């Protein structure tokens, strides 16, 4: 997949790609050429000038370097819902331990770097029934989404500070074994998380959310609106903070965030978008079915 994403040296070099970028970023803040499309980690299905049928992988499962992937459409992971609108592009090379360089990624997987404090980054989001979704907003790092969010004063977790370090999963004893109860996760999190909030950090970045070194799942967690006591009501799909989001190729335009809802089969799907940009279309059902070759999705 990465090998099929060209560099656009100037406008009209590949008009079909210009049209795609215009649909993603709008007219008010157009792309600055040259544009290296291979730096993108997210592609929408609609207006995409190449055929894209992603491999279906849970985040804990290996994905082939350079290929498109989503979680299975009937899977509980949030990326199965976001996968109704587009696909992640695998930038990790599992065998070589290398991470393809992008604007926010270091060259070596074990020395991952995140976004600098107070910078704008492209994100994607879909809500889920995960216990921590009642605490605050979780975003996928998604260059190519066209929706920008400012990380504020931010902390980038190192490779030893995995998800369980910040959000300890309670253990319960069942049938002679200790079992982690994800449904009982507390918004209080760990002492380390509470210290970040007390010290005025606006966001937490976890470049390797699954702690399995298998996919480029990079999540950014909003600490501005974190509710330590949680709540029974689910959060709105988007933050209502002033100027929380922007649009355009250089994050220079206003974005009034809202939730785009759709349905695939019996599954409800949703993704955030900007009202100032064209509405995203849900993918056809065929986007989630293809033959496989040697465990990888056959390219179309």
Indicate whether 128 pLDDT > 50: yes
Mean pLDDT of 160-183: 68
Q: Please write the tens of the pLDDT for every residue from 30-47.
A: 999 999 999 999 999 989
Report how far residue 234's alpha carbon sits from residue 7's, in angstroms, rounded to the nearest whole number: 42
Mean of the per-residue pLDDT values of the chain: 80
Beta partners for residue 212, in sequence order? none
Buried (b) or exposed (e) across 261-289, using 16+ Cβ within 10 A?
ebebeeeebbbbbbeebeebebbeeebbe
Report domain extents, the chain.
2-297
Tokens matching residue 284: 């056809």
Which pLDDT value is given to residue 209? 62
Tokens matching residue 179: 């079992």
Mean pLDDT of 210-228: 80
Indicate whether 300 pLDDT > 80: no
For residue 148, the surrounding DSSP H or E stretch is strand 147-150
Which pLDDT value is given to residue 212? 52
| Confidence band, pLDDT 50/70/90 cuts, at residue 98 | very low
Residues 140 and 79 sit within 8 Å (Cβ to Cβ):
yes
């Amino acid at each position: 997949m990465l090998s099929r994403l060209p560099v656009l040296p100037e406008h009209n070099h590949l008009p079909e790609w210009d049209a795609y970028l215009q649909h993603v970023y709008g007219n008010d803040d157009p792309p600055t050429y040259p544009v290296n499309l291979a730096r993108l980690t997210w592609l929408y299905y609609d207006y995409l000038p190449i055929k894209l049928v992603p491999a279906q992988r849970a985040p804990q499962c290996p994905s082939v370097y350079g290929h498109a992937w989503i979680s299975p459409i009937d899977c509980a992971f949030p990326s199965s819902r976001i996968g109704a609108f587009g696909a992640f592009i695998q930038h990790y090379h599992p065998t070589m331990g290398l991470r393809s360089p992008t604007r926010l990624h270091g060259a070596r997987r074990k020395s991952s770097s995140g976004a600098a404090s107070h910078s704008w980054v492209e994100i994607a989001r879909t809500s889920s029934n995960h216990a921590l979704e009642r605490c605050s907003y979780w975003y996928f790092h998604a260059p190519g989404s066209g929706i920008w969010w400012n990380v504020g004063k931010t902390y980038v977790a190192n490779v030893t500070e995995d998800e369980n370090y910040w959000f300890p999963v309670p253990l319960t004893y069942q049938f002679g074994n200790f079992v982690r109860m994800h449904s009982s996760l507390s918004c209080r999190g760990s002492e380390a998380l509470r210290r970040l909030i007390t010290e005025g950090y606006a966001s937490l970045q976890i470049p390797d959310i699954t702690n399995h070194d298998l996919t480029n799942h990079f999540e950014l967690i909003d600490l501005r609106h974190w509710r330590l006591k949680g709540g029974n009501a689910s959060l709105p799909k988007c933050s209502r903070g002033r100027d929380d989001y922007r649009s355009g190729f250089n994050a220079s335009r206003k974005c009034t965030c809202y939730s785009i809802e759709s349905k695939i089969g019996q599954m409800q799907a949703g993704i955030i978008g900007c009202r100032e940009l064209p509405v995203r279309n849900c993918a056809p059902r065929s986007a989630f079915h293809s033959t496989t070759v040697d465990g990888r999705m056959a390219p179309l």
